[in-house]
A and B are shown apart, each in its own frame.
Chain A
Amino acid sequence: MSSIPRRDFLKAGTGLALAGALPWNSAAAPTAAKPNILLIICDQLSWNAVSAHGCKWVQTPNIDRLIRGGVSFVESHSTNPVCSPARSSIITGRMPVETGVISNSRPIHTSVPNIGQWLTPKGYDAMYCGKWHLPGGRPHTMDGFRVIPAGGGQGDLMDNSVARLSANAIANHKGERPFLLISSLLQPHDICYWAIQNRDLVPPKMPFDELGPPLPDLPPNNKVRPPAPAKLAQCRGPAFSDDQWRYYRYIYFRQVEMLDHDVGRILDAVEQTGKAEDTLVVFTSDHGEGGGRHSHVQKWYPYEEGVKVPLVVRCPGRARENVLDKEHLVSGLDIVPTICDYAGVEPPPHMRGFSLRPLLEGASTEWRDFVSTEHHFIGRMVRTARYKYVRYKDDPVEQLFDMKTDPWEMNNLYQDPAHADTVRAHRERLDQWTASLIPVPPTPDASKKHRQRRKG
């Protein structure tokens, strides 16, 4: 499939040629009835931590069921490997620098509508249940949404209530207005807290010979550290032994399985109430998890473990089923245009993403040739079909990885003379993309830490 010429793509990025003006969008006539829309967002789920995506250390029958029923994108990227910025993109279709949410716990800038604000006046009943973080963990009021308050806390506490309340809301929803429900689950994010609470307590040699599910192998790049800025070292995990790393991964995969059952509760409600045929389901994660790759825990970095996330869309009778799309570069930016397309409404202005509808339905279309990720402290990344290029903030070290021959990102090619042209081309591409964005001033950080700092 040919790519959109870069110049045209960047035009789209400036808002001169919006997603709504692209050929497939104008041709995509609204369906007779607006579908219900269910967007399930989870937290810190790596693309390859799902059994249907080839992970043999985990069992995710419910997410697998969703993948079999729709299209799952292999080359799916977060806009920012941090919770709040990525979430701001998922629900606005804009890059974090344009939503004002450059780090955690900031509100979306008032000039940028979220999908609830956009669809409510167009006939949708917009509901939100679960983690918000824009700001506040679980506020009772959110612009654009009717909030279903859920429980808080770690482990089983929050997600079980989010799933059951979401399921009940789907089952009880009546009336002529279709629903837009965002179910925002917390797992497997708690691996962060597990590591904090327990890392000094797990012995270097595992005493547990009867864990049930086996201890996962180490990833091939566990001990590989390609040239990178010193600040990335802050993201590395503790000095774990091999067994400790394997146990860390074991715990992560159990949390992924916990998530899977809560996804199952929500999907069961859609299917048992006879609403599956009328409901567009989108499943994604804000960012990934280190899982011991490059000795990393958690997120923040532009390696695959931080930025590559699931993006699955199911729309029975419209989207294709059981398709693993390995070709197209997609982003959390594409979710709002896709929802708007199926809802039969124009997307908000200045969309940076595109409707996935032609890809979902198997239509012939041009597509973008790169996606981008940003992090206000780390730097910016551009990913093309073959290469990943990263420019770090305030650091001369750059990175170029050949994702075809080096999918585990072990060999940084940025100083290889044979790749000088590739580096130059990617630098230029990143500069043009960055210049095309419409940044807004960062919105105020509402976290407790910063409130205290402001008080002095």
Chain B
Amino acid sequence: MATRDATRAADHFSLRPLARALQGLPPPNQAPDPTGAWSSEFTLYSLNIRPWAQGSLKLTRSPETDGAVLTSDYVLGCGPGVSFRVKGETRCESNQLATPKMWTVTSRQHRNDGQETHEAAGDLRGTYDGQRIVLTEYGRERPVEAGPLLTWNWGLFDAVQRLAVISNPPPLEFALLDHFDQVKPEQALRLRKRCRVTLGAKLIVEEQKTELEHGTVFRPEHVERGGTEVDCVVFEHTGRGILPIVYWCTTAGYLLMVSSGLEAYVRQDGRVKP
């Protein structure tokens, strides 16, 4: 996947900081039915100076008669030999937003020897009745007002895949259940653009020549070569408590990547490891 997109100057940010993370990612052969069962794995990158892998997310969707169940397995590295893992199971509505109805979450810290750090363990359960969330944590129940329209971080990964295959997806306004327990209001998801990006390019170092007043300067620069052009549907998500987030899907509803300009999820399905 490459970062060439002629319209990028009007985006919140470029794909350029992601270029190294996108090297060697092939164009998807076939997208799974976004309304059916699917499973996808993402690598999480921090984008300071260059992409820096921090962890992973595995997301699995199982359709049910009245919606779907999304299971999430989020793993963050915490330095040498230690990881933090948050596993969730979220029962969602069948609506466009994958509104969560009920969720259970466990968070655990593991060391390489398999030992769990007792003091870092937590369990959370939540329900949403269309207006109010009730969280059960630390042995107590706590109500949180959320309003009538709600979705959650990774519910949007599901939602954009289903929206991408619609010819004219409507803008959606909602509150965001952030990492299962905090409500962020005034959120909006809308179609940003349709565009063509180049996937599977290679980054090559080339000497770039610049003519200056007193001479010529040569400096190495990474440039992208090769790849395959793919039509994309791009959504943007803005609101309180988040940086503008951009979702890149193929027109068949295959979510390729999600980025806020500072952090990114890049889908790993089909990546050939060198």
Contacts of B44 in A (CB 8 A): 153, 157
Q: List 13 A-B contacts (CB under 8 A).
A: A150-B84, A153-B76, A154-B48, A154-B262, A156-B179, A157-B44, A157-B76, A157-B263, A169-B120, A172-B120, A201-B8, A212-B238, A265-B182
**Structural contact, A258 and B242, CB atoms closer than 8 A:** yes
Contact A140-B82, Cβ < 8 Å, known A153-B54, A203-B9, A203-B10: yes
- Chain B 250-272, CB-CB to A under 8 Å as 1, else 0, gives 00000000001111000000000
**Structural contact, B13 and A212, CB atoms closer than 8 A:** no
**Structural contact, B14 and A151, CB atoms closer than 8 A:** no
Contacts of A156 in B (CB 8 A): 179, 260, 263
Task: Provide the bound-state CA to CA distance between A138 and B78, in Å.
Answer: 8
Interface window among A192-200, A303-311, A370-378, A391-399: A192-200
Q: Which residues 360-408 of A have a CB within 8 angstroms of B?
A: none
Task: Provide the bound-state CA to CA distance between A287 and B23, in Å.
Answer: 38
**Structural contact, A254 and B242, CB atoms closer than 8 A:** yes
**Structural contact, A257 and B184, CB atoms closer than 8 A:** yes
Across the interface, B121 reaches (CB within 8 A) one of A172, A258, A261, A265, namely A172
* A160 at the B interface (CB under 8 A): yes
- Chain B 1-44, CB-CB to A under 8 Å as 1, else 0, gives 00000001111111001000000000000000000000000001
* B119 at the A interface (CB under 8 A): yes
Given A154-B47, A155-B260, A196-B49, 16 other A-B residues pairs in contact with their CB atoms under 8 A: A59-B185, A139-B79, A151-B78, A153-B52, A157-B263, A164-B84, A165-B120, A168-B120, A173-B119, A201-B9, A201-B14, A208-B12, A208-B238, A211-B238, A257-B184, A268-B137
**Structural contact, B80 and A140, CB atoms closer than 8 A:** yes
* A76 at the B interface (CB under 8 A): no
Task: Provide the bound-state CA to CA distance between A208 and B9, in Å.
Answer: 12
**Partner-A contacts on B (CB < 8 A):** 8-14, 17, 44-49, 52, 54-55, 76-80, 82, 84, 86, 107, 109, 117-122, 137-138, 140, 142, 171, 178-179, 181-182, 184-188, 190, 238-244, 260-263
**Structural contact, B84 and A260, CB atoms closer than 8 A:** no
In chain A, what residue has the closest Cβ to B176? A261
**Structural contact, A168 and B107, CB atoms closer than 8 A:** yes
Task: Provide the bound-state CA to CA distance between A152 and B77, in Å.
Answer: 7
What is the total of A-B residue contacts with beta carbons within 8 Å?
168
Contacts of B262 in A (CB 8 A): 154-155, 190, 193-194, 197
* A52 at the B interface (CB under 8 A): no
**Structural contact, B46 and A153, CB atoms closer than 8 A:** yes
Q: Which residues 235-270 of A have a CB within 8 angstroms of B?
A: 251, 254-255, 257-258, 260-261, 264-265, 268-269
Task: Provide the bound-state CA to CA distance between A395 and B263, in Å.
Answer: 41
In chain B, what residue has the closest Cβ to A138? B79
Across the interface, A198 reaches (CB within 8 A) one of B14, B140, B240, namely B14
Task: Provide the bound-state CA to CA distance between A194 and B260, in Å.
Answer: 10
Q: Which residues 150-198 of A have a CB within 8 angstroms of B?
A: 150-157, 160-161, 164-165, 167-169, 171-173, 190, 193-194, 196-198
Task: Provide the bound-state CA to CA distance between A265 and B121, in Å.
Answer: 15
Task: Provide the bound-state CA to CA distance between A88 and B10, in Å.
Answer: 42
**Structural contact, A201 and B11, CB atoms closer than 8 A:** yes
In chain A, what residue has the closest Cβ to B192? A208
Contact A171-B238, Cβ < 8 Å, known A149-B82, A151-B55, A265-B181: no
* A421 at the B interface (CB under 8 A): no
**Structural contact, B179 and A160, CB atoms closer than 8 A:** yes
Contacts of B49 in A (CB 8 A): 193, 196
Across the interface, B240 reaches (CB within 8 A) one of A155, A193, A254, namely A254
* A148 at the B interface (CB under 8 A): yes
Contacts of A257 in B (CB 8 A): 184, 240-242
In chain A, what residue has the closest Cβ to B187? A212
In chain A, what residue has the closest Cβ to B171? A210
* A441 at the B interface (CB under 8 A): no
Contact A210-B238, Cβ < 8 Å, known A153-B46, A164-B122, A168-B122: yes
Contact A164-B107, Cβ < 8 Å, known A157-B263, A198-B261, A254-B243: yes
Task: Provide the bound-state CA to CA distance between A204 and B240, in Å.
Answer: 23
Task: Provide the bound-state CA to CA distance between A171 and B48, in Å.
Answer: 33
Across the interface, A272 reaches (CB within 8 A) one of B11, B107, B138, B241, namely B138
Contacts of A213 in B (CB 8 A): 186, 238-240
Contacts of A251 in B (CB 8 A): 243
**Structural contact, B47 and A212, CB atoms closer than 8 A:** no
In chain B, what residue has the closest Cβ to A58? B240
* A207 at the B interface (CB under 8 A): yes
* A273 at the B interface (CB under 8 A): yes
In chain A, what residue has the closest Cβ to B11? A201
Contacts of B182 in A (CB 8 A): 261, 264-265
Task: Provide the bound-state CA to CA distance between A154 and B45, in Å.
Answer: 9
Contacts of A138 in B (CB 8 A): 78-79
Contacts of A169 in B (CB 8 A): 119-120
Q: Which residues 293-309 of A have a CB within 8 angstroms of B?
A: none
Give B94 Cβ to nearest chain A Cβ, in Å. 26
Task: Provide the bound-state CA to CA distance between A149 and B44, in Å.
Answer: 18
In chain A, what residue has the closest Cβ to B243? A254
